Structure formats: C-alpha cells, structure tokens
C-alpha cells in the first residue's frame, strides 16, 4: 500500500509539488506567527527572570514602562532577612541617529555583569554600552545622543535576549535624568531556603506606593503579556485555521479529482476503507515531508530575522517542541480529514457513477 | 445464477431500464445488443452491482443483492468486469493493475493470467506504454484475477481492430466453456453470434430474445 501511495504521488508530479508547496507554506506561516509571538514574551520574561525571584513595581501600574519606584527603598529591602541582592532597572525607549526606536536600560551597577562585554568597559557616569546589533548600525561609533544628553560609548555587549542585544545600557542615575524617574522596578534575589511570602510581605509593608510579587506570578499575570498572548493567540488561531483549512481543502480537491480511480478500485471490489487508507498514506507522506521542510525553512527564517540589522533583534522566534508536535499532529489530522470527508461521500456513490464523473 | 425481476432504473426523470425480467443460467454466454442509448450498458452496470437500481430485484448466485451487506467484498469474490475504456490505473504497471483485484499478491496466478492473455512481456510496462488492444487484454486479465463466477463485459471489442477482437472473442468463449458465466453488452454482431442467448434492447426494454 505504501509503495502504491508513493507511486501515485510520483505519477502526479506537478500536483504533488503544488500540494507540497501549499502544505509547506501553510505550516511555515503557522510556525512563524506562533513562534514570533511566543518569542517576544520569552525575551521579555527572560530579562525579568535573569536576576530576580521577586519584582517590585509601583502599585497599581499596568505597564512597567510607566512604573516609578523610589531607589531610596533599596537599602531597606536589602536589610530584610533572606534578601541577597536588590538591583534596579529603568526601561525606556528613544530614537538614535536614523533608528526610530531603541530600547534603553538604565541599570544599577550590580547587574552590569548580565551584559557580556565584547569590547570596552562597563559604563561610568555619562557613558553607555551598546548592544552588538545596534552598534553595527551606528554611524558614530564613539558617541550617542539620547534626548538632549550626550554619552560616550564605553563598550559593546552581547546578549542572547534580542531586546537587550538591540538596546543600550547606562547607569541608573543617568537614565533617571533622561526619563525623570527613580527606577522602573527592582529585582530582588533571596536565599534558596528563605520564605518568599514573608519577604514579599515585608517589602509591601515598607511603602504603600509599591507592590512586590514573585517573578513567576508577575510574568504570568503581566497585563502586557496577556495582551500579547491574547492577540497572538487570535492571530495564530486565524492563521492556523486558514492553514489547516487550506490543507484539508487541498486534500479534498485531490480526492475529488481522483473519483474515477476510486470508482475503478471499488468496481474491482476493493473496499472504501482500503482505498481511503491508501489516500491517507499519500497525504501522510506529503504531510511529513512538508512538515520537515517547513520546520527547516522556519528555523532559517527565524535565524535571519534574529540577525537582521533592520529588525534590531527585537523580533525573535522560538519553535518549541510542544509547538512543533502540536502543529505536526493537527496538520496530519486535518490532511487526513481532507481525505476522509470526500472519501466517505465517494463511498456512498455507485462505482459506475464515480467512473463516469471522473471521466467527464 | 442471475435472476432479474421488475428491474427499473431512472437517471433523474429519464427512464433507462423499464421493467426488465430475465434469467441467466450458470456457464452461459449471454449477449445484450441494441442501439446506443438503448440501456444495455446500464443493465450491465446494474447486474454487476456497480449501480443500484431504482426498483426491482436482482438475485446473483442465489443472493438478493439488496441483502448483501458488503457489496465490495461480494463483487471482489464473484464478479469480474471488463470496461469498454479499460480503466487501468496509469501509475501502476500492468502486473500491479492485475494484482489490485487480489487480496494478496499472488505472483503465480497473475503470471498465468498474463500468459493466458499473451501479455507476459508487458507485465512491467505502464498503461500509457502499451497499445489499446494490449490495454484491453490487461483489463480482461484483471477481471479474471479472482477467478470470478460471472464476467460482465461492456463493449469489450469496442476499441479493438478485428484481429484483437477475435482474440477477445476466443478468450471469452474459452472462459465460458470452463464454467464462467459471461454477460456481454455489444453492438458487434460477430461477438453476439457466439452467445447462447441474445437479448435485444430498445428504449430500456427487452424487445427480443434470440
């Protein structure tokens, strides 16, 4: 049955190739949309997870960009039993040279080591370090102007996180002057055996203007992530549905196109089940080959996107095993459904009518 | 072997078979003749279970076809059909086309059929690599593959020259002599003359029996 299915595919080279292309592009589109949406969330959450069990933001703020927490609280948080490290960060964005927007991170010095230096030194006052992907695009490799402030480039760093690799890092104090805030948030580290809940309670008791949460809880419930997740889920669902419906309809057209063959085989006494199984094997072969091609193609595209200077590393995708399995199983099921539905309809038609229909 | 009672078939509102009654004994050679559109191909399709009739009863091998649960399996075991336009599967070799009708690949049986039809050397060729006459012989070999009890042939010599037609006649006659019931729809008078009984059809009715 397998060799006959393969022969049928080879015999209809053009049709098989077109089905293969449709399958591949549908699956690639699903891969890219889903993985880029996941990638954006993963990048931001990786940044937050990188050095903190807990996050402290301004109370009742929906976006970390608008949060302002007073750095004077840092020594008091450090004094809480079980706390090992408190770092602060300011998130901002600004145009630089021809680039319409770049991410700006004002960072306390105790988290500079997160940025792996490729050259130079970590920034001092009025100095800045630049992400590798941004550095390549700058005309002036010595100075950067952000707003009305001029900074000397003291080094170039590299980060696995696209948002960071496409941004610049400066001292918290300098960023504070630009964005007129003390800090966007604090990242709090604690000892392994510490009671996180009691630490959170102690931090929250320090001021009624702040809100401390566990990092994992914060990420899971962060409004912006919910918005990105919801909108990406909607887009992914639409793309996914369209892709899968395309796959099902392509297979359905293919089966309809071969109604005469269905009729001939039934006239010879071959059961509809056996004929349908043979067609499902054909769709499975095309599905598997297309999936592998789409998987490779998507990874190449994502790699190109990751290293694209135009996108500054802000767009990044991640194809997880879970996503791959999900797409593989659903595409195979949909292509099988595309075969089964017209096959069921053909099995109810008299063989001679199928033969006549196919030869019209 | 074949009993037909009050058989009627409509294509939409057009009547194709009008109250047909006939009886065919085992091992007989039957010819159905008539003008184009007289209903002979429809009768053959209905008798061979390839088309469900609008009304009436067909009894094949002592079984009413309405009572057969797995009609595909019944067809596979008992019926062979030779189409006018051979209808071979283009992506399969002649041998693979014949094997399609078999449950398991039975190399010996397939080779015997190929030999019987004189097409052994064509076994690895594809349908588009052989002539019309050769394709028709492959189609007959495929119909014989399961050693069916009844063979239905719709204009089996319709696309053949006189030499190839003669070969097909001889083969059908030979099969009939070995006990297979043959029912042929044809406008070929030479082939019809070989039949034990000739049913002449006109406007969906049997107008004469010779």
What pLDDT, in 10s, does the model give residues B70-80?
A: 888 899 889 99
Kindly state the tokens that stand for A295. 């998987």
Cβ atoms of A47 and A199 within 8 Å: the answer is no
B2 dihedral zone (left: phi>0; alpha: psi -120 to 50; beta): beta
Mean pLDDT of A81-98: 90
| B contact test, residue of A11, A266, A276, A352 with most B CBs within 10 A | A352
User: What integer pLDDT is reported at residue A182 of this predicted model?
Assistant: 93
Of A29, A33, A12, nearest to A232 (Cα)? Answer: A33
User: What integer pLDDT is reported at residue B45 of this predicted model?
Assistant: 93
Please tell me whether the interface predicted TM-score (ipTM) of this complex is above 0.90: no
User: What integer pLDDT is reported at residue A193 of this predicted model?
Assistant: 85
pTM for the model: 0.70
Q: Give the best-scoring range by mean pLDDT among A46-60, A313-327, B7-21.
A: B7-21
Between residues B163 and A280, the one the model is more confident about = A280
Kindly state the tokens that stand for B16. 């194709």
Structure confidence by residue, pLDDT tens digits, A132-162: 888 888 889 899 998 889 999 999 998 877 7
Structure confidence by residue, pLDDT tens digits, A200-212: 999 999 999 999 9
Place of tokens 């937050």: A48
Q: Which residues of B touch A272 (CB under 8 A)?
A: 72
> Is the CB of B75 less than 8 angstroms away from the CB of A269?
yes
Q: Which residues of B touch A268 (CB under 8 A)?
A: 75-76, 81, 100-101, 142
Q: Report percent pLDDT > 70 for chain B.
A: 99
> Is the CB of B76 less than 8 angstroms away from the CB of A350?
no
The pLDDT-based confidence of B42 (bands split at 50, 70, 90) is very high
User: What integer pLDDT is reported at residue A360 of this predicted model?
Assistant: 53
Mean pLDDT of B114-139: 85
| A contact test, residue of B40, B91, B128 with most A CBs within 10 A | B91
The DSSP line for B93-121 is -HHHHHHTTSSS--HHHHHHHHHHTT-GG
Q: Report percent pLDDT > 70 for chain A.
A: 96
User: What integer pLDDT is reported at residue A60 of this predicted model?
Assistant: 83
Between residues A265 and A250, the one the model is more confident about = A265
Name residues whose C-beta falls within 8 Å of residue A71's C-beta, 6 or more positions apart in sequence.
A88, A172, A182, A183
Of A27, A67, A73, A81, nearest to A236 (Cα)? Answer: A27
Mean pLDDT of A158-184: 89
Q: Tell whether the model's pLDDT for residue B108 goes beyond 60.
A: yes
Q: CA B84 → CA A242, A334, B139, B152, distances in Å?
A: 43, 38, 9, 11
**Which DSSP symbol is given to B129?**
G
User: What integer pLDDT is reported at residue B59 of this predicted model?
Assistant: 92
Structure confidence by residue, pLDDT tens digits, B165-205: 777 778 888 888 888 999 999 887 777 888 889 999 998 99
User: What integer pLDDT is reported at residue A314 of this predicted model?
Assistant: 63
User: What integer pLDDT is reported at residue B56 of this predicted model?
Assistant: 92
Q: Tell whether the model's pLDDT for residue A321 goes beyond 70.
A: yes
Sign of CA dihedral A331, A265, A358, B161: positive
The pLDDT-based confidence of A227 (bands split at 50, 70, 90) is confident
């Amino acid at each position: 049955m397998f060799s006959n299915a393969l022969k049928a595919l080879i015999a209809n080279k053009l049709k098989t190739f077109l089905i293969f292309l449709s399958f591949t592009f549908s699956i690639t589109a699903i891969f890219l949309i889903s993985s880029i949406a996941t990638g954006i969330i993963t990048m931001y959450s990786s940044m937050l997870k990188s050095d903190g069990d807990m996050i402290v933001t301004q109370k009742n703020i929906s976006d970390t960009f608008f949060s302002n927490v007073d750095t004077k609280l840092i020594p008091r948080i450090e004094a809480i039993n079980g706390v090992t490290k408190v770092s602060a960060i300011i998130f901002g964005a600004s145009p630089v040279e021809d680039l319409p927007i770049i991410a700006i991170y004002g960072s306390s010095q105790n988290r500079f080591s997160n940025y792996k230096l490729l050259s130079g030194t970590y920034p001092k006052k009025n100095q800045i370090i630049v992400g590798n992907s941004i550095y390549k695009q700058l005309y002036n490799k010595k100075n950067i102007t952000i707003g009305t402030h001029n900074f000397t480039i003291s080094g170039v760093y590299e980060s696995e996180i696209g948002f960071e690799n496409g941004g610049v890092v400066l001292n918290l104090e300098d960023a504070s002057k630009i964005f007129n805030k003390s800090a966007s948030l604090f990242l709090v580290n604690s000892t392994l055996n510490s009671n996180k809940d009691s630490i959170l309670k102690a931090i929250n008791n320090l001021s009624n203007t702040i809100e401390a949460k566990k990092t994992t809880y914060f990420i899971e419930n962060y409004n912006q992530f919910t918005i990105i997740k919801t909108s990406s889920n909607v887009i992914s669902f639409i793309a996914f549905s369209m892709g899968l419906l395309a796959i099902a309809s392509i297979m359905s057209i293919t089966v309809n196109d071969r109604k005469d063959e269905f009729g001939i085989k039934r006239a010879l006494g071959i059961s509809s089940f056996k004929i349908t199984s043979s067609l499902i094997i054909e769709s499975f072969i095309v599905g598997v080959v297309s999936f592998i091609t789409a998987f490779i193609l998507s990874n190449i595209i994502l790699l190109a996107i990751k290293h694209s200077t135009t996108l500054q590393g802000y767009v990044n995708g991640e194809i997880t095993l879970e996503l791959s399995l999900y797409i593989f199983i659903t595409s195979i099921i949909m292509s099988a459904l595309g075969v089964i539905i017209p096959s069921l309809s053909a099995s109810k038609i008299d063989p001679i009518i199928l033969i006549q229909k196919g030869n019209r | 072997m074949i009993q037909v009672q009050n058989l009627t078939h409509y294509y939409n509102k057009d009547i194709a078979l009008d109250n047909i009654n006939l009886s065919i004994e085992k091992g007989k050679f039957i010819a159905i003749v008539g003008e184009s559109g007289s209903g002979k191909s429809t009768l053959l399709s209905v008798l061979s279970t390839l088309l469900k009739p609008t009304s009436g009863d067909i009894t094949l091998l002592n079984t009413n076809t309405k009572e057969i649960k797995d009609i595909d399996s019944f067809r596979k075991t008992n019926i062979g059909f030779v189409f006018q336009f051979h209808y071979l599967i283009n992506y399969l070799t002649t041998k693979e086309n014949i094997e399609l009708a078999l449950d398991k690949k039975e190399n010996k049986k397939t080779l015997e059929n190929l030999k019987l039809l004189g097409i052994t050397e064509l076994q690895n060729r594809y349908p588009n690599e052989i002539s019309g006459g050769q394709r028709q012989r492959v189609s007959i070999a495929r119909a014989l593959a399961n050693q069916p009890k009844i063979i239905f042939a719709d204009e089996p010599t319709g696309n053949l020259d006189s030499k190839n037609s003669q070969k097909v006649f001889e083969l059908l006659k030979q099969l009939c002599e070995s006990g297979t019931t043959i029912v042929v729809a044809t406008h070929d008078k030479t082939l019809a003359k070989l039949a034990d009984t000739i049913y002449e059809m006109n406007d969906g009715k049997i107008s004469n029996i010779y």
